[in-house]
Amino acid sequence: MLVQPRYIAPFLVLLLLGFSRTPLSGSPCFRQNQVLWSRDHSRQCIRFFCVLHFFAPGTADSKSSGRGSERYRAAESLNRNGVLPGQSVGLIGSGWDGMVWARLARVRIVAQIPPDNANRFWQAPDPPVKTGVYDAFARVGAKAVITEETPPSTGFEDWQRVGDTHYYVHFLALPQS
C-alpha cells in the first residue's frame, strides 16, 4: 500500500470539517459548552497534526530528496554533465526512484525497461541487441539512459557513473556543452 500526503489530503479536509462542527447557536447549551468545546477541539487538532507530522509515512521519502541527498546530487550531476532540464531520458530499473531524481533534474522519463526485464538487458550476449535497445530509446526522444544498477563490467564500458552516486548514465547522443 502506498500512502502519500497527496492521496490522503482530501480525507484530512473532511476529517477537519467533522472536527469543526459546532453546536447550533440556538441551542440552550451553546454558551455554556462553547469555551470547553473550543479548548477540546484545539487540543484534538494539535494532537492530530503532531502525530501526522512526526509519524506520517511520507516524511522519510521527502527527506531523501532534499539538498545533499543522493537523488539530489544525481540530478545536479546529470544536469552538469549534459542531461539538460526539459530533455527526455530513458530508465532501466525502478521508476519509483527515477521519479524523484527526474523531477529534481527537471527531465522527463519517456521510456523504461522495468526491473523484471532489466536483467535480460544486462545479460544480453549480442552487441546488436544492446544497440537495438539504445535505438529504441533514441527513437522516442531519449538523450540518455539512466539506471541505479551497476552495469556489468564487460560490454557496458560506455556507461558512466553519475557523480558520487550509485546511478549510471549512458548517453545516446553527445551531451550538449
pLDDT bin (cut points 50, 70, 90) of residue 11 is confident
Total domains, the chain:
2
User: Is the residue at 33 inside a domain?
Assistant: yes
Per-position DSSP letters for 59-106, written without gaps between them: HHHHHTTSTTSHHHHHHHHHHHTT--TT-EEEEES-HHHHHHHHHHHT
User: Is the residue at 51 inside a domain?
Assistant: yes
Q: Are residues 31 and 95 in the same domain?
A: no
Give the per-residue pLDDT at 59.
43
* Cell numbers for 173: 547522443
| Structural domain containing residue 16 | 5-62
Give the per-residue pLDDT at 52.
66
Per the model's pLDDT, the better-predicted residue between 31 and 95 turns out to be 95
Mean pLDDT of 121-130: 85
Q: Are residues 29 and 103 in the same domain?
A: no
Q: Are residues 42 and 78 in the same domain?
A: no
User: Is the residue at 155 inside a domain?
Assistant: yes
Q: Are residues 92 and 160 in the same domain?
A: yes
Q: Are residues 49 and 38 in the same domain?
A: yes
Q: Are residues 45 and 72 in the same domain?
A: no
User: Is the residue at 31 inside a domain?
Assistant: yes
Q: Are residues 77 and 156 in the same domain?
A: yes
pLDDT bin (cut points 50, 70, 90) of residue 19 is low
Are the C-beta atoms of 91 and 147 separated by less than 8 Å?
A: yes
Q: Are residues 48 and 114 in the same domain?
A: no
Give the per-residue pLDDT at 39.
63
pLDDT digits (tens, 9 = 90+) for 35-92: 555 666 667 767 776 666 665 554 444 445 556 688 889 999 999 998 999 999 999 9
Q: Are residues 92 and 167 in the same domain?
A: yes
Q: Measure CA 79 to chain center.
A: 17
User: Is the residue at 177 inside a domain?
Assistant: no
Q: Are residues 86 and 37 in the same domain?
A: no
User: Is the residue at 176 inside a domain?
Assistant: no
What percent of the chain stands above pLDDT 70?
A: 66
Per the model's pLDDT, the better-predicted residue between 154 and 93 turns out to be 93
Please state, in angstroms and rounded to a whole number, the distance separating the CA atoms of residues 134 and 97: 21
Q: Are residues 94 and 161 in the same domain?
A: yes
Q: Are residues 166 and 95 in the same domain?
A: yes
Examine the fold and report which residue of 42, 62, 82 is the final residue of a domain before the chain moves on: 62
